[in-house]
Structure 1
Amino acid sequence: MTEPTGPVSVRKIDIGQIAGAAIAIIAIAGAAWLLVELSGFLLLVFAALVLAAIFDALTRRVSRITRMKRGPSLALSVIAILAVFAGVFALFGTQLASEFDTISESIPPAVDQIRAFVDRIGLGQPARELLDQGTSDLSRLARRAGGYVVTAGNGLANFILVFVGAIFIASDPAVYRRGLLLLMPQRAEDTAAAALDDASRGLRGWMVGQAVSSLVVAALTWAGLALLGVPAAGGLGLIAGLLDVIPMIGPIIAAVPAVLLAFTVSPMTALWTIGLFLLVQQLQGNFLQPMIQKQAVNVPPAVLLFAVVAAGLLFGFLGVLLAAPLTVVAYVVIQRVYVRALLGKEIKIAGRD
């Protein structure tokens, strides 16, 4: 007599499903672990893509003006960038180095003067404890930032890797674009191509607007601090311009050493310095930031703020520096791929005309 095979087949199906689910879970966990382990490397790749976008924009402009082919135009663009940085360091390097020395040497006496001022006006022990805590946090943040730079960048070798990689990508970006699209399923290829175009357009616009914003902030801060008689105005202006790349948090960090050094002149100068930074940030927020958003992507301010915090917690100092372009790219890709393609909602993609 033949035994019934129904329960056995059901059992086999259940075991197969369980095995398949287990393999899928292991694969997802392995992919997540691999992404975490390679996060530093992936950030370097993204940094190369950002730099390649800068090279690409300059190459297109040079090619349009000179009518040269892409290769010579790219070489001329890279040489021009290196010449500009070399010229700036040759003209102002010594001055800026001495000003940064002045900043590092003047901060401890400035903190002591603030402590004495707090005692003199009678704010008492709680204010001194708050000042000591803030000074300790600032020193710890500076030490950690330096450690993040060494860990994430690994010195000159990674900088060269990013720079050379950006040149290779900018030399023929269509090759890498086609290679990425070949990895996509056929039905998703058009959406992926549109997402790449959106991300490239938003990234180029952000870089143009951010470059203008950083230069204006650095120049205004430099001029304002010089008029107020604050020591090392040039170095403080450069710090303000560089930290303008970090949304929301960068201007606050830049204001701290400026106010401390202004206090070595007088408490009133420190108050005027605070007013100067507030004025510059009002200008940046009401005029320069809308220009960046018009050129690139109108990302909500709260999204940018939390993106900076999350990038800092996940990736350290390099993540903070790249938080804004990462957010721009992620914002337009989510709009194109998830909201429009998957959800089927007709929305205007940020950064498009």
Structure 2
Amino acid sequence: MFGIDARTARVVWTAALVVAGLYGVFLVRTTLLVMLIAVLFSYLIYPLFVLAQRVVGGRVPRMPLLGLVYLVVVALVALAVALFGNQVAEQATTLAQQLPTLLDPATLERRLPLPGVLEPLRARLAGFLRDLLQGGSSQAMPFMRNIGAGLMHLAGNLIYVVVVPILSFLMILQAPVFDELLVTVSHRRNGPFWTGVLHGLNTVLSSYVRALALLSLATLIVYGLVLSLMGVPFALLLAAIAALLEVIPVLGPLVAAAAIVGVALFSGYEHVGWVVAFIAAYRIFQDYMLNPYLMSEGVDVPPILVVFGLLAGEELAGVSGIFLSVPFLAALRMVAMQIRLHRAKITSAATPTSPPG
């Protein structure tokens, strides 16, 4: 009737529904982002809650026990801020005040710490650093402006600092419901496939978030202790920056290392070589020993995809996109692996076996 093909109409209707769904996701993108961050935060708290359940042996109801775990976490964070927050803030203020003097090209040649062997090259190295500063600052400004705008946007939505823990509290509280949902899904058509996908995503996200938290904590402690013992200026501030940048794979540690070496170099610190050696040794230990031990196999995303994801995430969602790009890529990789395994099972089941003899 009216010359409309039924199959074409169904295709157009499906495409319209997909476009409408994508537009709806775009409209509620902030809410979805908050929910995703709450899920990631839940993975940090849930192991502590499970440990508390094992200790009390079921003698305390679920909700009061989870509230007690949250109180302990908040108390530990408040204690850490009280012990080290003031020192980090003071060092940040001092560095901000001294930064124009440290980056002054007129005094750079005189302040540059060099061993005796490189002393004849002082003028050339100082000139190279001056050119690098002048060229690099103009290229870095747009990127830093975008990062700063993203941070200001996050700071303007501090309500989410309260909303995220509340959402994660409710998610952990409803964990048994999610387990029942998995059991229900497993009995439906293609149930084993979707169960494998959900279990795989749970493994990837939990391994990634918990490993990232432990790696950041290890970086904060090791950098803070070693840099302080070596007498590097602004040691605690640099350690805190390195710990925060640890959440950005590949590029984050490189930026942190450049910041530490740059601050030490322009501050006139005489043992920059030892700082470089320490950072190189620590990165080898963390990247090739500690990181593989903490991360599961499904989180092993190729570095080229990590860099692509970081750049694309920054373009799409700013600071939040940078943080979420790697777990998103790891989740996609896990789904692709489950699809490949599911197809392999279907192929092997459909292949007839030859009779013996």
Q: Structure 1-normalised TM-score?
A: 0.82
Note the C-alpha offset of 1:237.
Answer: 0.6
- Structure 2 counterpart of 1:75, from 56, 67, 74: 67
Equivalent residue for 1:12, pick from 3, 7, 11? 3
The letter of the residue matching 1:287 is M
Aligned to 2:19: 29
Moved more, 124-133 or 42-51: 124-133
Give 2:214's aligned amino acid: V
Aligned residue in 2 for 1:349: none
Give 1:187 shift: 1.5
> Shift of the alpha carbon at 1:286?
1.5
Choose the corresponding residue for 1:102, options 94, 116, 119. 94
Q: Is the 8 A contact 1:107 1:260 kept in 2?
A: no
The equivalent residue for 2:78 is 86
8 A Cα contact 1:40 1:315, kept in partner: no
Alpha-carbon shift at residue 47 of structure 1 (Å): 0.6
Alpha carbons of structure 1 residues 235 and 65: separation in structure 2 relative to 1, 3 Å: same
Tell me what 2:304 maps to. Answer: 302
> What is the root-mean-square deviation in Å for CA atoms of aligned residues?
3.2
Identity among equivalent pairs (%): 23
Cα distance in 2, alignment partners of residues 104 and 124 from structure 1: 22
- Does the alignment pair 1:50 with 2:40? yes
Aligned counterparts of 1:49 and 1:188: Cα–Cα separation in 2: 26
Following the alignment from structure 1 to structure 2, what is the Cα–Cα distance between the partners of residues 71 and 344? 42
- Asked if the contact 1:59/1:70 (under 8 Å) is kept, the reply is no
- The match for 2:108 among 94, 112, 116 is 116
Of 61, 70, 76 in structure 1, the residue corresponding to residue 51 of structure 2 is 61
> Whole-Å Cα distance in 2 between the matches of residues 80 and 21 of structure 1?
54
Preserved CA contact (<8 Å) 2:108 2:126:
no
Matching residue of 2:162: 160
Q: Which runs of 5+ in 2 are unaligned?
A: 113-120, 348-357
Q: Using the alignment, how far apart are the partners of 1:307 and 1:156 within structure 2?
A: 26
d(CA) in 2 for partners of 1:17, 1:34: 26
Report if the CA contact (8 A) 1:259-1:273 is conserved.
yes
Which residue matches 1:341?
342
Correspondences of 1:149-188 after superposition (within 5 Å) = 149-151=151-153, 154-176=156-178, 186-188=188-190
Give the SS at the match of 1:319: helix
TM-score normalised by structure 2 residue count: 0.81
What secondary structure, in the 3-state scheme, does the structure 1 residue paired with 2:189 have?
helix
- Distance between the aligned counterparts of 1:144 and 1:328, measured in 2? 25
Partners in 2 of 1:345 and 1:226 — Cα distance? 59
Q: Quote the offset at 1:127 in angstroms.
A: 5.7
SS in 1 for 2:152: helix
Could you say which residue in structure 2 is the equivalent of 1:293?
A: 295
Give the one of 314, 319, 322 matched to 1:320. 322
Q: Which runs of 5+ in 1 are unaligned?
A: 1-8, 347-353
> Quick one: distance in 1 between partners of 2:35 and 2:66?
20
Aligned to 1:192: 194
Where does residue 201 of structure 1 map in the other structure? Answer: 203
Alignment match of 1:39 (pick from 29, 43, 65):
29
- 1:221·1:276 contact (CA, 8 Å) conserved in 2? no
Tell me if structure 2 keeps the 8 A contact 1:103–1:232: yes
User: Does the 8 Å contact 1:59/1:77 carry over to 2?
Assistant: yes
Question: Deviation string for 1:292-346 (max 9, x for gaps)?
Answer: 224863333333333222222222101212233333333323322x222356489
Q: Give the stretch that moved more between structures: 112-121 or 141-150.
A: 112-121
Deviation at 1:214? 1.7
User: By how many angstroms is 1:291 displaced?
Assistant: 1.1
Q: Which amino acid aligns with 1:88?
A: A
Match of 1:350 in 2: none
